[in-house]
Structure 1
Amino acid sequence: MCTNYTGFKLLLCCLLLSTVRGWVWECTPAGSCQRRDPHVNDTFFNSLDVCRLVCGDRGNIWPLPANYTTKNKDLVYIDAKNIVFSIDCPTTSANIYLGNVVDYFKDVINENDEQNCSKTKYKLILNVNVANSILILNYKTSEEYSLDITTDSSSKTVTVNIIAVTIFGARHAFESLLQLIETESTADETCFVTLKEVSIQDKPKYKHRGLLLDSARNFLSVEVIKKNIIAMGMSKLNTLHWHMSDSQSFPFVSARVPNMTSYGAYSAAQTYSPYEIRDLLQFAKLHGVRIIPEIDGPAHTGSGWQWGADAGLGDLIVCYNKLPYKSFCIQPPCGQMNPANPNLYQVLGNIYADILDLWTDGLDLFHMGGDEVYIPCWNSSQEIVNYIDNNRSPEAFHKLWSEYQEKALSAFDAVNADATEPSSAILWTSSLTEISHVEKYVPKERYIIQTWVSKSDPLPKELLDLGYKLIISTKDSWYLDHGFWGTTKYYTWRTVYDNTILNDAAVLGGEVCMWGELVDNSNVEPRVWPRAAAAAERLWTNPSTTSIEATSRFFSHNDRLARRGVRTSPVVPKYCSQSHSDCIGYLVT
């Protein structure tokens, strides 16, 4: 471990190693790893990660596979520099994608170089077979895979067979394989180990497994977004819901409507260029993640929209930055789109066209926002009051709102005319989606509804009964911004994990939401991770067990995320992750 040092640094390193106790770990009968004093028993493990790999009947993979069997838990040492890959895909494009996945796999393995490994090492052979030529990830794409590890002692080879319907299932298999390879380190050497025989058959319970990031309230750099995407891929979350605009800023650079960022970005440096977005989309795809953009409206609009009158287009928004803000909107600066102005839909169409130019795989889903619309804001505009003939009844309000939705969706359809089938629009639950009139204003053939109500609220079930498709974001379990403002409560990873959602074919899945009022580059990762990974297992596996049974694997996955450079938050003192059985009942709420 000190081979890279000379002179005084070498002496200091050796002194430290001689004085720091080298713990060992026992796999207890309860199936968890417990820290022990060294040299008590030579059957103990030198590495906590290796102990976790062997210990228990559920393995150490996160999220828990649908079916996981270890036929032989003996360890075998592998030569990370002697890996043979064989990829069988139906198209060149699929082969290129998996070639990039292989490069990613090798990069992760090589982050922990072997050092002086004296053990007998086996050659690793990876065979990958993909049946389908599909290259587009959407909620209908198969992510199923099987992974089998076998070992031949006579030829000293470990063979991994991966079979998947699509490249995305194969990618998930590689992620699982990375979790089946650990490093065994002592003072003298570092070796790679895996299990001799493993069989996995795996597929997700829910098609849509998402994380919402909000880069409009506070700007998030591309690099920070990529860190979150890496963690999503490791946890098999497949959808980044990107809240790209809000009343505070409009950082998306629109080639057709450059005024949006000129008037709406926090600064010239805090924008997302077409080049950066294309790069993000490709990066996300490599990690098995698709990005769904949200251009919010008709509320949550302000900065970026205030230039219309000066450009001869009239007021594109009304009540902009009107005070006191609580009389007109949920948070400053206020603003709502002006549905009485026909030029609004032309501008929206241009923005939508720019988005479709960048999302070259197409958009089966597009998020239109659609919540927290305030009647007083629209009533403050004489133009809108005249437009609805001075009828200020709630019905007139909802009619105007639904008219906006219809025209905005038509503007999207017009620039998406080449799509093989129309995109589905996503709307947040709001007064427009109330059961008494949702069917009147929100056609279920075109809209998917994202619910953000509490787990006790009957609304999701009522919407299901009416035939709507849903994405569920349980407000009192999966809103990760809670606990830092007002009277909201912080939700631990256990609350996130133990939150179950409706099990119905029309429930596409769910999302955890990291709203951005109080996060930026400095703190968004530890606010999101590892809690988002808890939701990832709920959405991938939906196990009948609780967070209690998942504890050891969750601790391991948090360590794994940190090793990959994700700035995760600790969930217990380190002692408890090293000595799980000593901490039963501690921090369980």
Structure 2
Amino acid sequence: MIFVRAVVIACLIPTSLGLWPQPQESKHGNKTVWLHPSAKFTYETEPAEDVEVTNYFSPFGGFDGVRDFLQIPWLMQDHHGDKPLPSVDRLIRNAIKRTQKEIRSSKFVPWKFHPRNELFEPVQNKQDAVIRQVNIREKATNIPTEKIRDFIEGSENYQIKISADGEATITSDSPIATLRALQTFLQLFYTHSSGSGIYTPHAPISITDAPKWRYRGLNLDISRNSFMPQDLKRTIDAMASTKMNRLHVHATDSQSWPLDIPSMPSLAAKGAYHTGLVWSASDLWDLQLYGLERGVSVFLEIDLPGHTASIGYAFPDLVSAFLEEPWHTYTLEPPSGQIKLNSSAVYEFLDKLMDDLLPRVSPFTRYFHTGGDELNLNTYLLDETVKSNNSETIRPLLQKMVMHVHNKIRDAGLIPIVWEEMAIQWNLTLSSSSSSSNKPDVLVQAWRESAAVKKVLEKGYRTIFGPGDAWYLDCGYGSFFNPKPNSTTVRRPFLDWCAPLKNWRYMYVYDPLAGIPKDLQPLLEGGEAHMWSENVDPIVMDAMIWPRAAAAAEVLWTGPRTTEHIQDASYRLGEWRERAVIDSGVGASVVQMTYCLMREGSCEA
């Protein structure tokens, strides 16, 4: 009798689509539909003809053999040396094949999400429907195609329908919407533990989806500790699965300059921690293409004029207060040093840097971040071109330098991004005289606290949110400083400035719209979670980023969440985490105890 009752209770437990981020609208049933091992994915674009996606032998290193070789229009005209960029059409067709492969190779069996010993898996039989073809229909798009990067800016609206009899259709507004739909489609299916097939237990399924914000980012610092391309590629895979679309690479800082600048080879040769930890031009090219293929725009931050001590290892004459002691007189973190503000040699360096770097990144992204945070004014007492720590003296020099670099960025067809201090603390004029309200000329990133978001918006700038009191992933792991004897600054328990740790639930209920008047909300471009790397390296990065960044990703895609959403979110995020660990090799932290995920009893308090 007890056994029978347990079975009845298990059957009454509601099931939901384990999708992350949550779609805007979804409906589902409880019929099992199997995905045929040889199911065809067709891709129809208006007004092009329907073409079956087939795996071709590829002797040309990543393209589809004879078909790409013969059809010249399939290749764009952007080049890096002898490296051609694939067309948008080719990117999507490759993404379809990648999705097929990932679904078929998945090892994810969702046993954690059912009561223990429950027979939750369907029995494969001839009565269940089978998906033999997935039809992808993409509407015509008017987005610019001059550069392949532009496809990411298209409409991301899509629909997925899977009928109880096995008819599967994806309808999308653009190539990037097709990519987002594929990322959702993959999450609808599970692998049977017997190895007998792949199925969804939720048919019929109807999903209509679109993002809340266009900018959904992660900031990763690769300069304070060393990270290599494979670490960021793994991060991009996880970002893509949560529909994040901007990877902001904080590429250089005072501690190291790991980025090779071919026109100035000594910069990384002397500024990186080790010659084996330098990112080559080819590394950067490959990473940006890898991101673009997955719908993630990878862009760089070269922080200026602060956080620039590492330039001094190669060019000491360009840096004021380089390695000066005591360091805390001249900077917030060692080593001290900032590029000089009124030096013609510095301007020559910046021009050479931008002329080298901007043409290499512009094929892949619309953005370039120039930093601008945490200037130390005492540094300029030692700058012979300034000899002052008076902000009124420094401000016009800062204005001149920022606008000079931003104009170079605009000339390269990119949008500059700066930290909030440039707008709030220094009150610089950041938009160019030719800027249009319909096209963002500069983006300002608010970081210190939630209140800063409103301050930036009130100045009329398009704004990226992600403040330290909500979305800083490095908080709560402790200070990296060692205490001096009898120190009154670094004391037990040696906390960092933004402690405590922001767990996934806290990040999940951060409301970017709280306190923001409705008339200012259209200026919110989106947001970023931040992973600063004083206490992070490739060994621990996955567990520190995920699943907390995924919690931020749902806020960015679906919209603000509340505490009422947390219970359901724990199951869906838990399922995302299992897929990430099992199928993508992402070492994400635990979302919730297995007992809670099994829904055997309440884990609410």
**TM-score, normalised on structure 1?**
0.81
Q: Does 1:273 align with 2:280?
A: yes
Residues 69 and 114 (structure 1 numbering): CA distance in 2 closer, same or farther, change over 3 Å? closer
1:394 match: 391
Distance between the aligned counterparts of 1:556 and 1:113, measured in 2?
13
CA-CA distance at 1:269 after TM superposition: 1.3
Q: Tell me, yes or no, if structure 1 residue 518 matches structure 2 residue 535.
A: yes
In structure 1, distance between residues paired with 2:3 and 2:328: 61
**2:476 alignment partner, one of 479, 483, 489:** 483
Amino acid at match of 2:272: A
Cα 1:338–1:139 shift into 2, 3 Å: farther
Separation in 2 of the partners of 1:394 and 1:146?
54
Task: Name the counterpart of 1:195.
Answer: 202
Matches within 5 A, 1:86-105: 86-88=43-45, 92=74, 93-105=87-99
2:552 is matched with 535
Specify whether residues 38 and 518 from structure 1 end up closer, same or farther in structure 2 by C-alpha distance, changes over 3 A only.
Answer: farther
Note the residue ranges of structure 1 that are not aligned, 5 or more in a row: 1-35, 46-50, 153-157, 310-314, 386-390
Distance 1:114 1:507 in 2: 37
The answer as to 2:125 corresponding to 1:119 is yes
1:461 Cα offset (Å): 1.6
User: Which structure 2 residue ranges, 5 or more long, are not aligned?
Assistant: 49-72, 75-86, 110-121, 436-440, 479-494
Q: Distance in 2 between matches of 1:224 and 1:37?
A: 48
- Return closer, same or farther for 1:496/1:572 CA change in 2, 3 Å cut-off: same
In 1, the alpha carbon distance for the partners of 2:444 and 2:234 equals 28
1:375 equivalent among 367, 374, 377: 377
Q: By how many angstroms is 1:442 displaced?
A: 6.6
| Match for residue 427 of structure 2 among 438, 449, 471 | 438
Amino acid at match of 1:63: P
Q: Per the alignment, in what secondary structure is the counterpart of residue 470 of structure 1?
A: strand
1:5 aligns with none
Q: CA deviation at 1:205?
A: 0.5
Percent identity over paired residues: 26
- Counterpart residue identity of residue 270, structure 2: Y
Q: Deviations over 1:167-198 (max 9, x none)?
A: 11101101111111112325x85543353221
Equivalence for 2:189:
181
Question: Is 2:418 aligned against 1:427?
Answer: yes
Q: Which amino acid aligns with 1:196?
A: A
Equivalent position to 1:548, from 567, 585, 588: 567
Q: Distance in 1 between matches of 2:108 and 2:188?
A: 17
Alignment-mate amino acid for residue 337 of structure 1:
I
Deviation at 1:141, TM superposition (A): 2.8
User: Could you say which residue in structure 1 is the equivalent of 2:323?
Assistant: 321
Q: Report deviation, 1:521.
A: 0.9
Report how many aligned residue pairs link the two structures.
515
Q: Is the 8 A contact 1:233 1:289 kept in 2?
A: yes
Distance (Å, rounded) in 2 between the aligned partners of 1:148 and 1:41: 31
1:114/1:190 contact within 8 Å kept: no
1:243, 1:376 → 2: CA distance?
24
Contact in 1 for aligned 2:149/2:297 (Cα 8 Å): no
Measure how far apart 1:574 and its partner are.
2.5
Distance of aligned partners of 1:37 and 1:394 in 2 relative to their CA distance in 1, 3 Å threshold? farther
Larger CA deviation: 507-516 vs 315-324: 315-324
Q: Deviations over 1:290-329 (max 9, x none)?
A: 01210111000112344336xxxxx211111111110000
Distance (whole Å) between structure 2 residues aligned to residue 211 and residue 182 of structure 1: 28
2:18 alignment partner, one of 51, 60, 67: 60
Q: Is the 8 A contact 1:114 1:189 kept in 2?
A: no
CA contact (8 A) 1:263 1:305 kept: no
Amino acid at match of 1:193: T
* Whole-angstrom CA distance in 2 between matches of 1:38 and 1:210: 49
Q: Aligned partners of 1:400 and 1:562: how far apart in 2? A: 49
Which stretch has the larger CA shift, 225-234 or 263-272?
263-272
1:146 aligns with 2:166: no
- Which range moves more in the overlay, 270-279 or 571-580? 571-580
Query: Which residue pairs with 1:78 in the alignment?
Result: 35
Q: Distance in 2 between matches of 1:138 and 1:104?
A: 19
Whole-angstrom CA distance in 2 between matches of 1:229 and 1:371: 26
Q: Indicate the residue corresponding to 2:212 in structure 1.
A: 205
Q: Which residue of 1 aligns with 2:268?
A: 261
Deviations 1:436-481, CA, capped at 9 Å, x for gaps: x6255676944321001223x2x32232122111001121110000
Pick the aligned partner of 2:338 from 336, 339, 354.
336
Q: d(CA) in 2 for partners of 1:194 and 1:333?
A: 57
**8 Å Cα contact 2:217/2:247 also seen in 1:** yes
Q: Give the C-alpha shift of residue 231 in structure 1.
A: 0.4
Tell me the alpha carbon deviations over residues 45-93 of structure 1, each in whole angstroms, 9 at most, x when there is no partner.
Answer: 8xxxxx99x714xx221101111122x3211222223334343365843
1:495 pairs with one of 506, 523, 526: 506
